[in-house]
């Protein structure tokens, strides 16, 4: 691949939204490296996606210790892309996040939310990416057996060590979030952002979490906003070879694509076409219409998918009739 020179117009079309009440603005669309960037994947394809994303104003790239497969390899590959393509001061134009919370190494200190695990994991992530710091470090999931003060204390320590600039929570319920935010505030390290699963097909955050985030000035970055590809035209005509649902690894299984789901997808697709959008674009716009949502965290297996998703920003408004029709399908 030829030497990378970032597009000079990269900041011209992207929308940047303030993250809660912080000093940080994030692009309305962010890129996640959960799938398609591991050691089983094509490195140059991932590299092309990252380059294209940055050329289009995507400044935020989301990782976790366990992304791959194999776990850790997405961080290694992302680090390699940074060293090849994002040289000079370009690091200062990027918001890079990683997380600790799921299983990473054997024994009692390689999982969940102990101080021991969380801080060791961050050190490992930094070594894999060959970075001095990440911009956002998350607790990836709440640990029911570790005091919240311990897990939040570890995040606070990461910031004080200069290994993270901000901290975030992921997969915490509204109540767990409230408790964690209070601890973080008392430590002097306010939470920047919360990363929940949120899409047209997964709406638990509407039952309280979004209100907690707004009340506390915390941003929101929904993950799997396309329901891993269900909210696109990917599965309208069956399960294509190479698609996520066709692969043995991962959490989207062919049997998740039921007739009932397909019927909803078809009907949503018809509304999207009436709006002059693809279904993927409409699904992203539908999340971004809520001002409590800072940025949507997409995945992509090709530059074409990324480009298609970026098109969502051309039309994020909905009229009342469209929203009503969508609601009647989602019920
Ligand atoms: N905090 C957490 O616990 C957690 C959990 C999961 C994910 N995440 C984060 O969220 C990010 C995104 O998650 P996700 O990958 O599930 O997001 P997603 O955007 O819901 O799904 C991405 C997948 O949808 C398909 N797709 C995307 N755009 C498309 C388009 N325009 N047309 C057709 N198909 C399209 C692709 O599948 P194919 O591969 O089939 O092409 C792509 O890999 C992850 O990378 C990660 O950073 C966080």
**What is the number of the ligand 1 atom nearest to the C-alpha of 308?**
31
Query: What number is the average pLDDT over the span 57-73?
Result: 98
Query: What number is the average pLDDT over the span 236-264?
Result: 89
Q: How many separate domains does the chain show?
A: 1
pLDDT, averaged across the chain: 97
In a domain, 31, yes or no: yes
In a domain, 1, yes or no: no
DSSP structure class, residue 4 = P
Q: Evaluate if residue 1 carries a pLDDT over 80.
A: no
In a domain, 207, yes or no: yes
The reply to whether ligand 1 has any atom less than 6 angstroms from the CB of 225 is: yes
pLDDT band at 250 (very low <50, low <70, confident <90, very high): confident
pLDDT band at 27 (very low <50, low <70, confident <90, very high): very high
Give the tens place of pLDDT for each residue, 292-312. Answer: 999 999 999 999 999 999 999
What pLDDT, on a 0 to 100 scale, did the predictor assign at position 137? Answer: 99
**What is the number of the ligand 1 atom nearest to the C-alpha of 195?**
1
- Domain with residue 141: its CATH number is 3.20.20.100
CA-to-CA distance for 55 and 102, rounded, in angstroms? 32
CA-to-CA distance for 90 and 92, rounded, in angstroms? 5
The reply to whether ligand 1 has any atom less than 6 angstroms from the CB of 234 is: yes
Q: Give the residue numbers spanning the domain of 300.
A: 16-228+292-314
Containing 61, the helix (H) or strand (E) segment is strand 60-62
Give the tens place of pLDDT for each residue, 252-298. Answer: 988 889 999 999 999 999 999 999 999 999 999 999 999 999 999 99
CA-to-CA distance for 23 and 242, rounded, in angstroms? 40
User: Each residue of 263-274: b (16+ CB within 10 Å) or e?
Assistant: ebbeebbebbee
Span from the CA of 298 to the centroid of ligand 1 (angstroms):
5
In a domain, 251, yes or no: no
Residues in contact with 77: Cβ distance below 8 Å, sequence separation at least 6, in sequence order: 33, 37, 38, 39, 41, 43, 46
In a domain, 93, yes or no: yes
Give the whole-number percent of the chain exceeding pLDDT 70. Answer: 100
In a domain, 256, yes or no: no
In a domain, 22, yes or no: yes
In a domain, 134, yes or no: yes
Indicate which residue's Cα is closest to atom 5 of ligand 1: 223
Our mutation pick for probing the ligand 1 site, out of 134, 169, 193, 229, counting the most ligand atoms within 8 A of Cβ, is 229
**What is the number of the ligand 1 atom nearest to the C-alpha of 33?**
45
């Amino acid at each position: 691949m030829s030497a990378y020179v970032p597009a000079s117009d990269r900041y011209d079309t992207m929308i940047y939204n303030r993250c809660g009440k912080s000093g940080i603005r994030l692009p309305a669309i962010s890129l996640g490296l959960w799938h398609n960037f591991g050691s089983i994947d094509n490195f140059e394809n991932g590299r092309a996606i990252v380059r294209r994303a940055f050329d289009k104003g995507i400044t935020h790239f989301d990782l976790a210790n366990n992304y791959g497969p194999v776990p850790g390899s997405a961080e290694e590959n992302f680090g390699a892309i940074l060293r090849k393509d994002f040289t000079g001061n370009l690091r200062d134009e990027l918001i890079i996040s990683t997380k600790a919370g799921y299983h990473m190494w054997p024994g009692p200190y390689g999982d969940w939310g102990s101080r021991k695990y969380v801080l060791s994991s961050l050190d490992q992530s930094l070594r894999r990416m060959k970075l001095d710091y990440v911009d956002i470090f998350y607790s990836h999931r709440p640990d029911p057996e570790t005091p919240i003060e311990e897990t939040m204390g570890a995040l606070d320590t990461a910031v004080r060590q200069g290994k993270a600039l901000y901290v975030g929570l992921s997969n915490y319920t509204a109540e767990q979030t409230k408790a964690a935010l209070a601890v973080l505030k008392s430590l002097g390290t306010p939470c920047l952002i919360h990363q929940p699963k949120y899409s047209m097909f997964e709406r638990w955050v509407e039952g309280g979490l979004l209100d907690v985030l707004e009340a506390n000035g915390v941003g929101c970055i929904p993950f799997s906003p396309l329901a891993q590809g269900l909210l696109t035209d990917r599965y309208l005509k069956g399960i294509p070879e190479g698609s996520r649902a066709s692969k043995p690894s991962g959490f989207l299984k062919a049997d998740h694509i039921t007739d009932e789901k397909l019927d909803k997808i078809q009907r949503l697709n018809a509304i999207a076409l009436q709006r002059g959008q693809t279904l993927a674009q409409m699904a992203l716009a539908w999340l971004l219409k809520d001002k409590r949502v800072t940025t949507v965290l997409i995945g992509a297996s090709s530059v074409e998918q990324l480009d298609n998703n970026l098109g969502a920003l051309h039309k994020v408004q909905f009229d009342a009739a469209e929203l009503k029709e969508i609601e009647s399908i989602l019920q």
